[in-house]
Chains A and B, each alone.
Chain A
């Protein structure tokens, strides 16, 4: 079955460093992936998505890399700031659905940025 999981449950970095958050997936047929950020006491917030016909996609200070060969997804945050401290989730559409909003989420990685 499909599943989305994370290698590292916690990541601690210094302000200004680059952060890399990793995610593994098991369903080789998955064609869409998405990253969310969740700050304490708030709902998840969309960061960036990528379709399987791409290897890389860039946003503002964030880059998502997709390696379909090893079924691995990563989120890179450049010049990490204290405001980036949050839980980061990778997600993919649940099997059997037509809407990409019907998601299976990974367990999450806690990113802590030290000033």
Chain B
């Protein structure tokens, strides 16, 4: 497809289970971002990948959260031992730019809605 693809679109899980969320960025985009959107916290930055550089993990809320990006393309966000406060929409975005030019123009997917019971 032409846009950022995320799966699953909806995920319901039980507290304590692990979940994996997948993101397929737009082909050729070197930068990939994960954000989280919840009623209480709004849109929050989680993690950023740029090319082969080490990811910027400064937004991850706890060590239960991790992400990887394989081959500079697909990314997986993993949440271990899920808690109810992890319930949110997890949004992935990609960009053809790194820091040259530096721009905040991101292309977002439609998100994965996670509900932890």
B80-117 vs A: 1/0 string, CB under 8 Å? Answer: 00000000000101010111001111111111000000
> DSSP class of A's interface residues: helix, strand, loop or mixed?
loop
Tell me the minimal C-beta distance from B54 to chain A in angstroms. Answer: 12
Q: How many B residues have CB within 8 A of the partner chain?
A: 28
Pick the most buried of B43, B56, B107, B111: most chain A CB atoms within 10 A of its CB.
B43
Q: Is the CB of A49 within 8 A of B56?
A: no
CA A89 – CA B106 in complex, angstroms?
13
CA A46 – CA B43 in complex, angstroms?
14
With a cutoff of 8 Å between Cβ atoms, the chain A residues found around residue B103 in the complex are 49, 100-101
Counting CB contacts under 8 A, is B60 at the interface? no
With a cutoff of 8 Å between Cβ atoms, the chain A residues found around residue B45 in the complex are 94, 102-104
Q: Is the CB of B109 within 8 A of A43?
A: yes
Q: How many A residues have CB within 8 A of the partner chain?
A: 26
With a cutoff of 8 Å between Cβ atoms, the chain B residues found around residue A100 in the complex are 99, 102-104
Among candidates B42, B91, B93, B111, residue contacting A101 with C-beta atoms closer than 8 Å: B93
Tell me the minimal C-beta distance from A110 to chain B in angstroms. Answer: 13
With a cutoff of 8 Å between Cβ atoms, the chain A residues found around residue B108 in the complex are 43-45
CA A60 – CA B91 in complex, angstroms?
26
Given A43-B109, A99-B102: 17 more A-B contacts, CB < 8 Å: A32-B102, A32-B104, A34-B104, A42-B110, A43-B91, A43-B108, A44-B91, A44-B106, A46-B104, A46-B107, A91-B104, A96-B58, A101-B31, A101-B104, A101-B105, A102-B45, A102-B56
